[in-house]
């Protein structure tokens, strides 16, 4: 049984706490948060739990083998580094860090200490996303041309980060996972309407070495709540709609057919059936947390390891730089 200490019990931190608390493979020993009401909440769920406002109580406990970090992004590097130096495995909510340099620092330290780093890119553990990945890898969709995502709603408005850093890690991590390559260039445009220095609506375009592109629309200032990804291939087109209760994926047998020689090429449209595959809708967070424990116990490489987190952070950094430069194209190294 993996003994865990958790720091951060905000909205999402409470979900992580619930899952690790309920799993037979883990034992949450200590929870740390600066807000007393959050500690009272945790204590009400488990009377034997140790609660504290001092992170060192987790770091200095030799029984704790892994630390779950669900604090604000600006604290991730410092908290994770401290845990790794104490020879503890680390699970970090997205984004891994706020800079590529800090992400590389954590990766290097984890490798030196032979410890696991896993990033909470939740959607990569979503059964529907796994199904789409299988389709792409099998070639059933043909050549993938492009994809685009929408992650918009009205609120929650953050005061410590813009909508890019708050929302986009989800979509960037999924797009990189499905494309199976890292973009060579990024550009982003957006605007701050509610708070002068924090963009509440952002449009990001990723350009890949293969010539494919992906587009992301994120906003916390929109009349609709949309969580949708569309993928266009030469044989099929797929829509993943996470707001659907059960029919998460729709496969469209549509495409463009080219025939004839290069001098007289004919282009016709093909429109076939719509297929809705059955998805085993297990809770993605449960799958993710179990994977973290498994990787530690069996010495496996996490699907969302430090390098996976680093690639997402690099894209976020480039998009943020583009935002500050009015949509200028930023090349990734």
Q: What is the pLDDT, as a whole number, of residue 165?
A: 95
Nearest to 91 by CA among 112, 69, 65, 113: 69
Comparing 178-182, 222-226, 278-282, 326-330, the range with the smallest average pLDDT is 278-282
Q: What is the pLDDT, as a whole number, of residue 160?
A: 83
Q: Looking at residues 107-129, what average pLDDT do you find?
A: 98
Phi, psi of 85 (to 5 degrees): -65, -20
Q: What is the pLDDT, as a whole number, of residue 268?
A: 75
Q: What is the pLDDT, as a whole number, of residue 267?
A: 73
Q: Are strands 201-207 and 50-52 parallel, antiparallel or unpaired?
A: unpaired
In the 8-state DSSP scheme, what is residue 198? B
- Greater confidence, 324 or 265? 324
CATH superfamily name and code, 124-284+314-331: Dihydrodipicolinate Reductase; domain 2 (3.30.360.10)
CB within 8 Å of 152: residues ≥ 6 apart: 217, 218, 219, 220, 222, 224, 225, 226
What residue spans in the chain does CATH classification 3.30.360.10 cover? 124-284+314-331
Q: Evaluate if residue 237 carries a pLDDT over 90.
A: yes
- Mean pLDDT score of the chain: 94
What is the Cα 48 distance to its own chain's centre? 32
What residue spans in the chain does CATH classification 3.40.50.720 cover? 2-115
Q: Looking at residues 288-310, what average pLDDT do you find?
A: 97
Please state which CATH class domain 2-115 belongs to: alpha beta
């Amino acid at each position: 049984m993996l003994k865990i200490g958790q720091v951060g019990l905000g909205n999402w931190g409470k979900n992580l706490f619930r899952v690790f608390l309920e799993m037979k493979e883990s034992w949450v020993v200590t929870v740390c948060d600066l807000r007393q009401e959050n500690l009272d909440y945790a204590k009400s769920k488990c009377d034997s739990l140790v609660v504290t406002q001092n992170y060192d109580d987790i770091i200095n406990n030799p029984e704790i083998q892994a630390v779950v970090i669900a604090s604000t992004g600006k604290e991730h590097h410092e908290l994770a580094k401290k845990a790794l130096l104490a020879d503890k495995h680390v699970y970090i909510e997205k984004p891994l860090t706020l800079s590529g340099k800090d992400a590389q620092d954590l990766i290097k330290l984890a490798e030196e200490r032979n410890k696991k780093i896993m990033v909470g890119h939740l959607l990569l553990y979503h059964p529907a996303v796994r199904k789409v990945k299988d389709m792409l890898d099998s070639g059933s969709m043909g050549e993938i041309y492009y994809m685009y995502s929408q992650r918009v709603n009205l609120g929650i408005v953050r005061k410590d980060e813009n909508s890019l850093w708050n929302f986009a890690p989800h979509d960037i991590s999924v797009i990189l996972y499905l494309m199976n390559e890292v973009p060579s260039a990024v550009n982003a445009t957006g605007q701050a309407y509610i708070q002068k220095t924090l963009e509440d609506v952002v449009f990001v375009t990723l350009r890949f070495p293969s010539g494919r592109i992906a587009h992301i629309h994120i906003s916390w200032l929109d009349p609709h709540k949309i969580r949708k990804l569309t993928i266009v291939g030469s044989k099929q087109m797929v829509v993943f709609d996470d707001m659907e209760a059960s029919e998460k994926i729709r496969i469209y047998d549509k495409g463009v057919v080219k025939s004839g020689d290069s001098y007289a090429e004919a282009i016709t449209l093909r429109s076939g059936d719509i297929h809705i595959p059955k998805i085993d809708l297990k809770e993605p967070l449960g799958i993710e947390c179990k994977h973290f424990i498994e990787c530690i116990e069996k010495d496996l490489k996490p699907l969302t390891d430090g390098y996976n987190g680093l690639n997402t952070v690099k894209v976020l950094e480039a998009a943020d730089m583009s935002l500050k430069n009015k949509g200028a194209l930023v090349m990734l190294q």
